[in-house]
Structure formats: C-alpha cells, structure tokens
Amino acid sequence: MSLRCFICGKKAQVGNKVSHSNMKSKRLWKPNLQPAKILVNGKVKKVKVCTKCLKKGKVKKVA
C-alpha cells in the first residue's frame, strides 16, 4: 500500500533537509497513517487513514 490516506488523499511531501552549514539534501515528511477497518459501500475494508480524518470523525470504525 502507498503512503496515502484513503479519505483525504494526504501523501508524503518532499523537501530539503538543511544543515547548519546550509547544505541541502532531499528528505520526506510522511503522514501519520493508521490502519483502520471501515465500512465502504456496505462492506468492511481495511485501509490506511490519517489521524486528522480519524479525529474529525470522517471515518466510522467497524469493530
């Protein structure tokens, strides 16, 4: 599975790590994804969801 939220589509962002001497190298900022069983079209599906979507209540977890 990719590093992408099933609900909002949030994904990893690319940028530069900048050292004290101002040298730059590429790095990734990964989203905080959590596995969750949710109801999709009447069926239980196991997907990765970001914590913001879980907090906002955009997802109904299934036991």
pTM of the entire predicted model: 0.79
Cα–Cα dist 47/52, whole Å: 15
Domain that holds residue 35: 13-56
40 domain-assigned: yes
Per-residue pLDDT of the chain (63 residues; tens, 9 = 90+): 579 999 999 999 999 999 999 999 999 999 999 999 999 898 999 999 999 999 999 998 887
3-state SS, residue 53: helix
63 domain-assigned: no
Contact 50, 11 (CB under 8 A): no
Report DSSP state, residue 23. -
18 domain-assigned: yes
Token pair 């050292």 in the structure block, residue: 19
Cα–Cα dist 28/57, whole Å: 27
Total structural domains within the chain:
1
pLDDT of residue 1: 56
CA angle 53/56/59 to nearest 5° reads 55
